[in-house]
Amino acid sequence: MTVSTPAWFDEVAPWFVGFSQTGAFKQRVEAFSRAAAGVRRPADRLPRCLDLGCGPGELAVALAAQGFEVVGIDASSEMLRYARETAARQALAVTFLQGDVTAEFPVLGFSPELIVCSSVLEYLEDPEVVIARSAHALAAGGLLLVSIPNPKSLPRREQEALYSLRRRRTYVDQQRSLVPHTELARMGEAAGLQAIGIRHFSAPRLLVRWSKLRLVGTLTLVVFRKPSS
């Protein structure tokens, strides 16, 4: 497996579960759910979704509640353990598989109408490979939603400066590729996708109302569509 830090994600899984109950995380789920509403739904079945690097499953489960048939993939067995518990608690059927998203995607037997990849690419040596595989796997007309850290965000810069001053070991040490959203859009276009939207989102409580501003939102979501033919 070419995952750089699966042991670290196993270790921080309980912390991440706590974080996934915060207001900041709810903004993440809202941003993805809103963009996912743009998926064209097949007439005869539920639309299918692949969640790459699903972590403890909050987003996967929210998308299942929104009416998607969801498969989540993650490298960390601890994250997956929590993800299965989250789905069971909400009585939602979500399939969770252990795997490396930089390797071949598991054989699904279908082309998803939606692929989501939330806060994962920054931990990979070669994020472009995931974009290219996603573009290939996606159904024609489907959406790929990818979020990455927004390096222009002042709240993010402040938080990371504090971590550095306190010499705290955090996610920052695990990051491998911090690509700007313009570069992410280029990767998608190179893989044959159209970048149809860019949104900044997620901010500390006092700044929530400004989270769509580039200088505020700590994350950036790029929405790609695969051409229909």
Ligand X SMILES: C[S@@+](CC[C@H](N)C(=O)[O-])C[C@H]1O[C@@H](n2cnc3c(N)ncnc32)[C@H](O)[C@@H]1O
* Chain contacts with ligand X (rule: CB under 6 A): 3, 9, 20, 53-55, 58-59, 73-76, 79, 100-102, 118-120, 123-124
Which residue's CB is nearer to ligand X, number 11 or number 41? 11
- In whole angstroms, how close is the CB of 90 to ligand X at the nearest point? 15
For the purposes of burial, counting CB atoms within 10 Å of the CB of 175, is it exposed (0-12), middle (13-18) or buried (19 or more)? middle
| Of 76 and 218, CB closest to ligand X | 76
Quote the least distance from Cβ 124 to ligand X, whole Å. Answer: 6
- The four Cα atoms 131, 137, 142, 147 give a dihedral, to 10 degrees, of -30
| 11 or 158: CB nearest ligand X | 11
- Which residue minimizes CB distance to ligand X? 55
Identify the H or E element spanning 43.
none
How many angstroms separate the Cα of 43 from the Cα of each of 40, 46, 121, 148, 156? 9, 8, 33, 32, 42
Least distance in angstroms from the C-beta of 72 to ligand X: 8
> For residue 49, what are its two tokens?
């979704």
Task: Kindly tell me which of 79 and 139 has the beta carbon lying closer to ligand X.
Answer: 79
